[in-house]
Amino acid sequence: MVYPQRGKKLVIKTLTMKLISILIIMNHLISCNSQVTNNETKQDSTNFDEIINLILKDYKGVNSVVVCEESLDYNSTEIVAYKKSLKQALDIDLIEEFQQNSPGNSRKIGRFLNKEDLEYMRKQIDLPINWKRKKLNKNIDFRLCNLEKEKSNFNNLYLQISKPLFNKDKTYSIIFVAQSHSEYIIKLLLFQNNKYGWEKVLNLNM
């Protein structure tokens, strides 16, 4: 009766191994899940750094640029024309109308994003974002600004930046930038993440 005994032991051993395997797999799954979350946060932060640096390249030769954190709110900031909030301005038809009347904008936003992408982006507006102070060019000061109290002259340029919004697979990002020198303008920038990294593909006055 050796075989049955062996068989019992074998069955128990097999069951135990299976249980352990299941535990290992579960543990691995939990670990993987956690890793994905951490990676996303890291990825967002990296993406954000790269995008901010791309934006600031447009001002690299300008003296004294002040970048104001958390200063451009999607709900309470209006685009210049049409008096719509930034949130309302996330509309493909509206953006394409702007493009139609702006020089050099032959690449319509519809080539890159669809309505679902913009809907996905709009849902991110109210989620918190961890703004980190960046190491910037010596002429660029990245800080919290109380614009009402800032005393400006023509030697200062103020930039306000909105929270960057990403599409589902993080291949595109929209960010609004308001620039104030003697004039106030607000721009919609669309960035594309390709094999070379992030690249600005649209730059539109709104």
CB 85 within 8 A of CB 186: no
CA distance 62 to 58: 9
Choose between 120 and 192: whose C-beta lies nearer to another protein. 192
| Residue 115 CB partners (closer than 8 Å, separation 6+) | 92
Residue in 157, 162, 160 with CA at minimum distance from that of residue 190: 162
In the stretch 44-73, what mask flags binding to another protein with x, by CB under 8 A? -------------xxxxxx---------xx
In the stretch 117-156, what mask flags binding to another protein with x, by CB under 8 A? ------------------------------xx-x-xxxxx
CB 158 within 8 A of CB 141: no
CB 74 within 8 A of CB 125: yes
Report in angstroms how near the CB of residue 68 gets to another protein at its nearest. 8
> Contact between 113 and another protein (CB under 8 A)?
no
At residue 99, what is the residue type? Q
> Contact between 184 and another protein (CB under 8 A)?
yes
Left, alpha or beta for 190 (phi > 0: left; psi -120 to 50: alpha)? beta
Choose between 44 and 69: whose C-beta lies nearer to another protein. 69
Report in angstroms how near the CB of residue 39 gets to another protein at its nearest. 33
Residue in 172, 179, 176, 206 with CA at minimum distance from that of residue 189: 176
Report in angstroms how near the CB of residue 97 gets to another protein at its nearest. 8
Report in angstroms how near the CB of residue 204 gets to another protein at its nearest. 7
Of the candidates 88, 139, 171, 203, which one interacts with another protein according to CB under 8 A? 203
List the interface residues with another protein, window 79-108 (CB under 8 A). 79-81, 83, 85, 97-98, 101-105
Decide: helix, strand or coil at residue 58. Answer: coil
Alpha helices in 109-172 (DSSP H): 115-123
- Using CB under 8 A, list all residues that contact another protein: 57-62, 72-73, 76-81, 83, 85, 97-98, 101-105, 147-148, 150, 152-158, 160, 178-187, 202-206
